[in-house]
Chain A
Amino acid sequence: MHIPDGYLGPITCAFFYLIMIPIWYKSILELKKLDPRKLPLLGVLTAFAFLVMMFNLPVPDGTTAHMVGGTLIAILMDNPWIATIAISIVLVIQAIFFGDGGITCIGANCFNMGVVLPFVGYYVYKFLRKYVGDIIASGIGAYVGIVTAAICAGFEFGLQPFIEPGYCPYPFTVSVPAMAFAHLVTAGPAAAVVTAVVVWYVKKVRPDLFGSEDKQQHVSGVTA
């Protein structure tokens, strides 16, 4: 999902940089308020996100896709803005040092993978955890989050022939199904399983990270 240099025209690139400036600002404010005891965990999760994106998985149409880890970070930090920071750090490093994702597309890539993905994933998780529990909800959240982000990237690719010809040559009738397919069948299931397993493990050893909602449910369950 790392859009390379040249696939988005200058107007689209500038647009996403402009959108990201206030989002990055708000994320930094959220980081300022974060419980300092969570900082080492966020550090290793940032490294985890970098590594998990190196595991390219085969898509049946002959391409590849990978998970991102944004929903997992949003859930474990209980704040999707914090995931925006971690994923943005990873994407900037990947663009500058590894040529993965364009320099001109950092705004768009951070928007897709660092904003859409963790926010959709986190709020799907938040909504579903009451009904299916934290672990299943985290898996479904991660799945919906990455597929939504991929569809967003597909739209950005697919708008180019209409607004800035000369960049991505394929319209969204081609790009959206292609991006959605790769993430529905490969990266999405991987993200769901990995996120659910990590959430299951972390919940077992550090139930305190999952907030008071659970305890209240537990207490009310006992008294009822």
Chain B
Amino acid sequence: MNWQDPLVKKFVYLIVAMIILCPLGILLVWNYGDAWGEWDPSELAKEVGAQKVSGMLHLADIWSYAPLPDYDIPGWDDPLHASIGYIISAIVGVALCVGAYYILVKIVNPKPM
């Protein structure tokens, strides 16, 4: 793979800029609620009654092993720490996505027809 392509390089600069600026993605919406349908199940249960979401309460915690839940270091809740956690998550996420992509490409091994 030729990573020296000028257009690819431009996207790399863009990615670096986006990593630095990504805290805007939480700071601009600091006092906003969650995205629609992404609320915490226990809070939703309080609102609509637990029996209306009985299945949800069982299924919601099926995966609790995310190392950076909500793109943050657990406990880093104030805006400054959350911003740092967000940047760390962005770096980790980019590395994981590019790594996963690279492995997939190595397995699939595209060839022009």
**Interface on A for B, CB 8 Å cutoff?**
1-7, 9-10, 28, 31-37, 39-52, 54-59, 62-66, 85-86, 89-90, 92-100, 102-104, 153, 157, 164-169, 175, 178-179, 182, 201-202, 205-206
- Which of B36, B38, B62, B102 gathers the greatest number of chain A CB atoms within 10 Å? B36
Whether a CB of chain A sits under 8 angstroms from the CB of B80 is no
Whether A89 contacts B28 in the complex (CB less than 8 A), given A6-B55, A51-B90, A97-B92, comes out as no
Query: Is A90's CB under 8 angstroms from B97's CB?
Result: yes
Whether A62 contacts B32 in the complex (CB less than 8 A), given A6-B41, A96-B66, A166-B56, comes out as yes
Whether A98 contacts B110 in the complex (CB less than 8 A), given A58-B32, A64-B35, comes out as no
Cα separation A104 to B58 with both chains bound (whole Å): 12
Residues of chain B within 8 A of A95, CB atoms compared: 63
Of the four ranges (under 10, 10 to 19, 20 to 34, 35 or more), the interface on chain B belongs to 35 or more
Query: Is B8's CB under 8 angstroms from A56's CB?
Result: no
Cα separation A190 to B89 with both chains bound (whole Å): 22
Residues of chain A within 8 A of B98, CB atoms compared: 43-44, 46-47
Identity of the chain A residue whose Cβ is nearest the Cβ of B12 in the assembled complex: A44
Q: Could you say which of A31, A92, A99, A202 contacts B108, with CB atoms under 8 Å apart? A: A31
**Interface on B for A, CB 8 Å cutoff?**
1-3, 5-8, 10-12, 14-15, 18-19, 22, 24-26, 28-29, 32-38, 41, 44, 48, 52-64, 66-71, 86, 89-90, 92-94, 96-98, 100-102, 104-105, 108-113
Min C-beta distance of A153 to chain B, whole Å: 7
Min C-beta distance of A86 to chain B, whole Å: 7
Cα separation A47 to B6 with both chains bound (whole Å): 17
Q: List 11 A-B contacts (CB under 8 A).
A: A3-B37, A33-B112, A40-B1, A42-B101, A66-B25, A97-B66, A98-B89, A165-B52, A167-B55, A167-B56, A205-B10
Query: Is B24's CB under 8 angstroms from A55's CB?
Result: yes
Q: Could you say which of A28, A98, A167, A201 contacts B66, with CB atoms under 8 Å apart? A: A98
Residues of chain B within 8 A of A57, CB atoms compared: 28-29
Query: Is B69's CB under 8 angstroms from A157's CB?
Result: no
Nearest 6 interchain pairs by C-beta: A166-B55, A6-B60, A99-B66, A6-B56, A44-B11, A55-B25
Min C-beta distance of A104 to chain B, whole Å: 6
Query: Is A54's CB under 8 angstroms from B56's CB?
Result: no
